[in-house]
A and B are shown apart, each in its own frame.
Chain A
């Protein structure tokens, strides 16, 4: 076989239509609005812990710490992420396959379904009719519109996923033996995983919470509800994370001036995430009374195995960056790091996100560790942990992506690129302080989801750490304001990029021709079968047992709403 001329066609830009850009932009707009509102409540929580309770001043509108916490969790962890991800994937699908969406109307239906769902869920939350936090464990009962709204957001994201799958099928028909372009592959896989993972929450809401909130059934089974919830709840973490991985593997190397180190191992890591994301949800239920210890142990071991593709990712991403930095003249065992383009806000944000994620991963390993988890379960350690993952690995990466994405969508240059660099660093520093304090407090026994400023049992030794929570929260808030301001000013500015200044969508080549990646890393059926089989093994018997012993009488809503 003759050596193929490889790579030249990959970088040719695909002319994305104005309509498609606007459609992607609509996703990002909703995402940023959600983040702006949700983030307002972040410092309110953090300040309360530090002993400065601002909620009484908001009293006519926002009733409590818990309502604020619900808004913060739902908007930041669920809405900002889901809208950003579906918008970003619309781009990676179009650019990856170099073709428009197969059924653009289908994706529009998906988007608007999510918007309607968002509004339906937001109204009861704002009216204090759904202060149940973003885990909404029954028998805390929210207004039915809250559950319906959440369902519609999930269904809308499914529909957008179908749109991506149809686009893939059309592309595959025209390209029967070509390896799926990496960024498109990663996006499809994430959406496929999401379809499977969200079945848990769909069943929870449709068979239990919604009919209960409408008065059709009298109660719920709180244990079964938790099992359904965490069937979705852990893979949700990978739904947040994998889009960042798509960027770290498939885009960041290009932005840093290098190439993807290993195409085949990048794909292998993604397949392992599909295989292993779902069958480990019991590690969120280690302290639940209704799940046998043996099943918890099995899920603990499976959780360890999902650590493996994360280790692959750490190696491949760092190796890609190291090669890029050495191409730029970087030297030394560690010194090459300085040669990375730290003057680029988009790159800096993603590099810093990756650095903090390493600590997030280590903490996650501890959470997964069965009996060790007893030390940290339901403590501030846990929000400390997921502020390193979803609120940094994911969120700071998305902020970084915005710094080229928004100029690309709007055709306008980024407003104050240097401020973007500062924004990334302030997030990094604020999160270091905040998250470290939360981890330490957790080890000392501080409960999560609790306004510790008023709790009577807080010992003196927590005080210094609680103040650091407040300080970190304040810095993070300033950073978030900077982000929203940079993005908004970019969108609002009058001047446009001239011809020849168009923003490139950074798509990294891989060192090795993807065509030489083994074919079994580009086949869906065996991996999907494996995924379903593993889920049946890890969940099947317990689910059957819990469903067979369902007791809807045990979880009735209290006579008085407790918030």
Chain B
């Protein structure tokens, strides 16, 4: 280590610090590789733009929200958040175990959150946007879905329930 009195401009990196920097960089590369593999090879993905809708005039599948079976064991669920009543529509969903469900969620008014407990389904819900994620239910049980974004006085009461039943 150069002590005071040295007269050349230098970045002056202590050998220990050099190692520390190397370890830091390696760690970050490992973490980045892990999320990359999980995201793009194993399919653990975050929401991406699906479609824009008019929240004041929801049409098509939004006119009858709820569960629809597309093919055996494959479902889509349309869910609308509403701050006038602080409810999700529908409030209850039931699917047989082993089902794959794609959730499409939007808001009629202000921002909400949609978090399906004990799964990786976690989305911000905006008026005018459709949030979409897919999950396969391998375990029987009750999965509450709760509003995770402040949406007014009734926010703490805004939740629904997905039940996975035996086939």
Contacts and interface: CB of A to CB of B under 8 A. Distances in A.
Interface in A252-301: 261-265, 268, 285-293, 296-297, 300-301
Nearest to B150: A449
Interface in A311-346: 311-312, 315-316, 319
B99 to A, nearest CB: 20
A222 B131 CA distance: 14
Interface in A101-135: 133
Contact of B152 (A308, A316, A519, A563): A563
A158 interface: no
B146 A516 contact: no
A171 interface: no
A195 interface: no
Given A301-B32, A551-B52, A558-B84, A516 B6 contact: yes
B87 to A, nearest CB: 12
Interface of B is mostly: loop
Contacts of A511: 3-4
Contact of A286 (B36, B46, B54): B46
A560 interface: yes
B46 A374 contact: yes
Interface string A221-234: 11100100000000
A137 interface: yes
Task: Count chain B CB atoms within 10 A of each CB in A289, A378, A451, A456 and give the residue with the most.
Answer: A289
A463 interface: no
Interface string A354-382: 00000000000100011111110111000
B35 A516 contact: no
B122 A558 contact: no
B150 to A, nearest CB: 4
Closest A-B pairs by Cβ, 3 of them: A554-B128, A562-B152, A378-B148
Interface of A: 1, 3, 6-7, 64, 66, 133, 137-140, 221-223, 226, 261-265, 268, 285-293, 296-297, 300-301, 304-305, 307-308, 311-312, 315-316, 319, 365, 369-375, 377-379, 445, 447-452, 454-457, 511-513, 516-519, 549, 551, 553-556, 558, 560-563
Given A293-B45, A374-B44, A455-B156, 8 more contacts: A6-B4, A7-B4, A268-B11, A292-B48, A297-B39, A315-B17, A519-B9, A553-B56
